[in-house]
Chains A and B, each alone.
Chain A
Amino acid sequence: MSSLALALRLTPYLSRSSSRQTGLHQTKLRDAGLPILAFGTVTALLLTVAGGSQVFWSWSDDIAGTYQALAVVAMVLLVIPLLTLGASAARLAARRRDDRLASLRLLGASSATVIWMTVIESTVLAAIGAVAGAGLYACAAPFLGLIQFRGHAIGGHAWLSVASILGCILAVCVLAAASAALGLRKVVLTPLGVRTRQTANGAHWVRGVIAAVVVVFGVVAMGMLSSFGAFMVIIAVMGGCFGLALLALNLMGPWVLRLQASSQLKRARRPEQLLAARTVLESPKESWRQVGGVAMTSFVGVFVGVGMAVADTMGSSTSDESTQLVRDINTGVMITLLGSFLMVACSAGVNQAAAVLDRASTLVALDRVGMPQKLMVAARVKAVMSPLLLVAGISAAAAAALVLPLAGPALLTRPVVFLTVGGVFAAGFLLVRLALAAGTAQIGQVLARPERYASMDS
């Protein structure tokens, strides 16, 4: 029997037996509900961004280029974090199966069978989420059509073609499949290591070097923007720089968190400090997923602040066209910010819920040896909030470095920029804190029924 055929036969069987064995809605939520929710949100936001920006490409007059340039910036700022959230959702779908699949591997299942099983499971969850997300987009599109640019509602431009929607669903499924297969490399290579959590998941310093090189390259390219000549090339370079910088942040984040946690581990005096540092060091990438959304939004916040400063500067202009542009820039930055916060809310909620459920057996173990619940909560809050300030600051600094050659120091240091960035920080922190509070209630539920989790692998 081929690996694919065996995987197709085993996957539904194991999914059913897993549900029967535990018989818990929490387990179902953990294994399927959270990834579906995450994929659904990613798809809905992706389609909304794509639909909302269609109108800009339908114009061809003199000022259309300015709108298109701004649209490219906004799209890059939203799409890259969304793709990151999508990859995070894919990993969420796959990592829960690591232990089970590692056990299968130890029992003799081939690497190909294990990979196929994970890819099939993750893709099915992604497909369900993506279809639900497309439904959500269809509900939102009429409202999206009411948004006005250049004095007219977007209207029918908010609707994407069926082919585009199907393409987006397909892209989400491919992203899920690829991410699941890549994430399984370690299970395939060292199944016993994964089963017994032999080593912590590191984050190599090379990540930091690559990210620094990319940001420096971006700053230099942004400084030379006017020398690129053709307008479309300038737009492409600008969008490319922003996108690369966001990807670089995503690459560097886990490494930065590992450095911070290593330092905190050495200085830890209290149990919650020790546990928080070890939680981050156990998997810096996992910890990055908890705070990465706010880091991305902080990056966006700087651009939003600069956008508002530009609008503020142009506000005194008397021409109708300039007044309209100012109004539209304000609309655009608000939409970008709203989309960014929706992403953070989704990312924080999903990742916090997953984090508690992932660590349920550890929480039960700590409870049994007498660790007070408030200490468990304190350790979890510290493990998330402590890196948050650091990564948000680094992201904002990287964004400021990139935008400096374009905006100049005078524009970048206007009060409206600081107010906007401060507001974005505060709102992002609040969203993560709310997600943590929801997770605290979840800890209470886990400890109220410890028999459900005591034997689960964490």
Chain B
Amino acid sequence: MNAILHAQQLTKHYPGNIALDHVDFAAIAGESIAIIGPSGSGKTTLLHCLAGILRPDAGTVTLSSAVGPVRLDSLGDGALSRLRREEFGFVFQQGMLLPELTALENVALALMLNGTDRTTSEARAAEWLAALGLAGMEQRRLGELSGGQVQRVAIARAHVTGARIVFADEPTGALDSATSNEVLDVLLQSVAANGRTLLVVTHDPNVAARCQRVVELRDGRIVADTGCAVPPPSQPAPATTDFKGAFNV
């Protein structure tokens, strides 16, 4: 099985500590991977390096793309920005959506940044919001939505561009347990239904338990990895009833 994302010997220092210590990691297309570990273990730093948000001090991150392997460390800031908006989707705990925009505009913006016209962008954004249970809430500002609804908007934005890899950092961290389960259902089902790869950083053992693979970090090193449990990429990705046929992305 070929890795869609492959990191070798990733190292990242912060003043006074080492966040990543020669980490090797590979993600297979279609996998859902939980990255767990105590605070300060390097989970978020690993996620940011894999997503091209942070540049590692040493080591490489290689993305398998349609045009061949792409080394993230060889890309300039502009190319990295383009990669993030075309290949990756993001669902973070807070602060990653724009409060001045409506739910619809937040999702549509991701497409508009890729050059899609506004009418098409908003139509596709509305489809995703409806599929995620937010029909009728398109024109609401984020402050008018509940925490769970805001995370659904973030999930819709992560998917709307057809991103192949979805990065999530504590996506349920600010939610109560019932809402957390609902958001996790939506995230996992949407990722599986569309054959996307999910990398999720979490403290929550319930979240980790629902991912196909769990990678544990401690002091900047991978200390445990349950290994790949995903079907070969040639097989169709599992689709749930809720999402089957809902999108043509």
Give the interface of A toward B (CB within 8 A): 193, 196-200, 268-271, 274-275, 278-279, 281-282, 361-362, 364-373, 375, 450, 454-455, 457-458
A366–B98 CB distance below 8 A: yes
Which chain A residue lies CB-closest to B117?
Answer: A269
Q: Which residues on A sit within 8 Å (CB–CB) of B94?
A: 455
Q: Are A197 and B113 touching (Cβ within 8 A)?
A: no
Chain B CB count within 10 A is highest, among A275, A361, A370, for A370
Cβ-defined partner of A197 (8 Å) among B51, B92, B118, B142 = B142
Taking the nearest CB of chain B, how far is it from the CB of A122, in angstroms?
25
Contact of A368 among B96, B105, B144 (CB under 8 A): B96
Complex Cα gap A47–B100 (Å): 40
Whether B113 pairs with A368 at a CB distance below 8 angstroms is no
Cα A367 to Cα B105 in complex, Å, equals 17
* CB nearest to B150 among chain A residues: A196
Residues in B with CB closer than 8 Å to A366 are: 98
- 29 A-B residue pairs with Cβ-Cβ distance under 8 Å, sorted by A, are A197-B143, A198-B144, A199-B141, A199-B144, A268-B118, A270-B112, A271-B112, A274-B101, A275-B109, A278-B101, A279-B100, A282-B100, A362-B99, A364-B95, A365-B95, A365-B96, A365-B98, A366-B98, A367-B81, A368-B51, A369-B84, A369-B157, A370-B81, A370-B88, A371-B85, A373-B77, A454-B95, A457-B95, A458-B99
CB-CB under 8 A for A278 and B95, given A197-B143, A198-B143, A271-B113: no
A321 to B86, CA, bound (A): 75
C-alpha spacing A380/B53, complex, angstroms: 23
**A371 and B118 contact, CB distance less than 8 A:** no
Judging by beta carbons under 8 Å apart, are B143 and A369 in contact? Answer: no
Bound together, the chains give a CA A361 to CA B97 distance in angstroms of 10
| A274–B105 CB distance below 8 A | yes
With A279-B100, A282-B100, A370-B86: A271-B109 Cβ-Cβ less than 8 Å: yes
Q: How far is the CB of A36 from chain B (nearest CB, A)?
A: 28
Asked if B110 is at the interface of the complex by the 8 Å CB criterion, the answer is yes
Name B84's contact: one of A196, A368, A450 (CB within 8 Å): A368
**Given pairs A270-B112, A370-B86, 15 additional interface contacts (CB within 8 A):** A197-B99, A199-B144, A275-B101, A278-B105, A365-B95, A366-B98, A368-B51, A368-B53, A368-B92, A368-B96, A369-B90, A370-B113, A372-B82, A450-B53, A455-B94
B143 touches A199 (CB 8 A): yes
Closest to A265 in B: B105
Residues on B with C-beta less than 8 A from A274 are 101, 105, 109, 112, 118
Q: Hey, which chain A residues are within 8 Å of B77, CB to CB?
A: 373
B68 interface residue (CB < 8 Å to A):
no
Task: Given the known inter-chain contacts A198-B141, A278-B100, please indicate yes or no for A369 contacting B95, CB distance below 8 A.
Answer: no
Chain A neighbourhood of B53, CB < 8 A: 368, 450
Q: Which residues of B contact A197 (CB under 8 A)?
A: 99-100, 141-143
Q: Chain B: which residue is nearest A361 at the CB level?
A: B95
B16 at the interface (CB under 8 A from A): no
- The answer on a CB contact under 8 Å between A372 and B98 is no
> In whole angstroms, what is the CA distance A371 to B81 when docked?
6
Q: Are B113 and A369 in contact (CB under 8 A)?
A: yes
Instruction: Please determine whether A371 and B100 come into contact, CB atoms closer than 8 angstroms.
Output: no
Q: Is the CB of A375 within 8 A of B100?
A: no
Q: How far is the CA of A365 from the CA of B118 in the complex (A)?
A: 21
- In the bound assembly, the distance between CA atoms of A362 and B141 in angstroms comes to 15
Given A197-B143, A274-B105, A362 and B98 contact (CB-CB distance below 8 Å): yes
- Given the complex, which residues of A lie within 8 Å of B96, measured CB to CB? 365, 368-369
Q: Does B78 contact A (CB under 8 A)?
A: yes
Contact A370 B83 (CB under 8 A): yes
Of chain A, the residue at the smallest CB distance from B111 is A271
Instruction: Tell me how far the C-beta of A201 lies from the nearest C-beta in chain B, rounded to whole angstroms.
Output: 10
B113 lies within 8 A of A375 (CB): yes
Give CA–CA (A214, B205) in the complex, Å: 65
In the complex formed, the residue of B with least CB distance to A374 is B78
Contact status A368-B109, CB under 8 Å: no
- Residues of chain A with a CB closer than 8 A to B118's CB: 268-269, 274
Closest 10 CB pairs of A and B: A370-B85, A198-B143, A370-B84, A196-B143, A282-B100, A197-B99, A271-B112, A278-B100, A370-B81, A365-B96
How far, in Å, is B151 (CB) from chain A's closest CB?
A: 14
Which residues of chain B from 180 to 236 have any CB-CB distance to chain A below 8 Å in the complex? none
Cα distance A367–B144 in the bound complex, in angstroms: 25
- Say how far B166's CB is from chain A's closest CB, in angstroms: 12
The winner among A362, A368, A371, A375 for most chain B CB atoms within 10 A is A368
Per-position 1/0 for B20-39, Cβ under 8 A of A: 00000000000000000000
CB <8 Å contact, A372 and B78: yes
Q: A197 vs B144: C-alpha distance in the bound complex, in angstroms?
A: 9
Q: How far is the CB of A279 from chain B (nearest CB, A)?
A: 6
Cβ contact within 8 Å between B81 and A372 = yes
**Which residues B40-83 have CB closer than 8 A to chain A?**
51, 53, 77-78, 81-83
- A-facing residues in B88-137 (Cβ within 8 Å): 88, 90, 92, 94-101, 105, 109-110, 112-113, 117-118
Q: Is the CB of A369 within 8 A of B85?
A: yes
A200: chain B residues at CB < 8 Å are: 100, 141
A281 touches B100 (CB 8 A): yes
Distance (whole angstroms) from the CB of A353 to the closest CB of chain B: 20
What's the minimum C-beta distance from B153 to chain A, rounded to whole angstroms?
A: 13
CB distance from A454 to the nearest CB of B (A): 6
Q: Is the CB of A365 within 8 A of B97?
A: yes
What residue in chain A is nearest B86 (Cβ atoms)? A370
Residues of chain A lying within 8 A (CB to CB) of residue B85: 369-371
Q: In whole angstroms, what is the CA distance A458 to B99 when docked?
A: 9
Shortest B1–chain A CB gap in Å is: 28
| CA of A198 to CA of B98, assembled, Å | 12
Closest-by-CB residue of B relative to A450 is B53
Complex CA distance for A193 and B144, rounded to whole angstroms? 9
Q: How far is the CA of A454 from the CA of B95 in the complex (A)?
A: 7
